[in-house]
Structure 1
């Protein structure tokens, strides 16, 4: 298998006995705006990372482990731009997919060493990240070009309390496409009105493998917050609240039974 067709959109490729099928361009279009969790790791220069073969990437771009703006994916085509968010630290980065992999376990994303550092999980090695596809690639961006240079993306954005705030910041700072051409505002609106929006279920299998979710993730924890402030209670009123419902019911029944048995006025006179 040559580098040119090793990761073509829609193709199936194998490495070290592990096989993946890359999403097509149409399938990747349907993932724009989706969000979901995946297990991510990071990879380094081939001189330091024994699992990273030396040579050019599957896209043809030179791998830069020292830049926090690139990543590898076995499912998303090269050229795809994503937002990666670490819900444990609140760090967010815009990354471009430039390579294939990872090829181990359930991991679905390999970020550069610098990106892992910025996202706050380099010391752990792996992390559960929230991702969203910001831009699906064109056919030219997804194809192999030796020593190609993609337009730069923002990389690390900073810390955000929620994923929604991070994606809003990413969309504001995202660079334009490689050709730099932009339609006039009126023409762009007319074209947008004519072109139907992509259907969200073109590739359920791809979305399922990426564990994509529509519901927003939980915000970054900033410490425990009490729903209700502390209040003073007596020991007698505290115990019934802590007892399970079944225990309270048994206690009430036993109390009533005991009261009935001790109520001698309600019993017939044994001597009569």
Structure 2
């Protein structure tokens, strides 16, 4: 009986974790924070959305925006900007707002530094 109760408790805990999407409404999303970019070691690996990561594509990882959301990212130091599509979860480094692909980082002018202070604005399609 204890084993059955333990299994039920574990399943309830796992079901509760799985049901929380944690996504936010992208309408009006406008945040400032630090961006970083994925390295080549992630190229070809599956993203959280199920598609393969392409370092040459214009994509990004965000903790809460829904997959498929298009966002404009502006580097606050040089005013360069790029539009990317959210297809992954992250970043998992404390203090970071968004992870972008290498191609997006190049357009933002942040390849050398690796990070940049950015503004992220969701676009209404």
Does the alignment reach a TM-score above 0.5? yes
Return the structure number with greater strand share: 2
Shift in Å, 1:53? 8.8
Matched ranges for 1:44-193 at <5 A: 44-46=39-41, 52=42, 55-67=45-57, 69-135=58-124
TM-score by length of 1: 0.37
CA deviations over 1:154-176 (Å, ceiling 9, x no partner): xxxxxxxxxxxxxxxxxxxxxx6
Aligned with 2:38 (options 22, 43, 56): 43
Distance 1:127 1:102 in 2: 14
Q: State TM-score, norm by structure 2.
A: 0.75
Instruction: Specify the structure having the higher radius of gyration (Cα).
Output: 1
Counterpart CA distance in 1 for 2:56 and 2:45 is 16
Aligned counterpart, 1:16: none
Alpha-carbon distance, 1:80 to partner: 1.2
Are the counterparts in 2 of residues 35 and 130 from structure 1 also a CA contact under 8 Å? yes
Mark the runs of 5 or more structure 1 residues left unpaired by the alignment.
1-7, 12-21, 47-51, 136-175, 177-272
Q: Which has the higher helix share?
A: 1
Deviations 1:12-49 (A, max 9, x none): xxxxxxxxxx31xxx41xx4234220111000232xxx
- Aligned length in residues: 108
Q: Which has the higher contact order (CA 8 A, sep 6+)?
A: 2
For 1:54 and 1:10, how far apart are their aligned partners in 2? 28
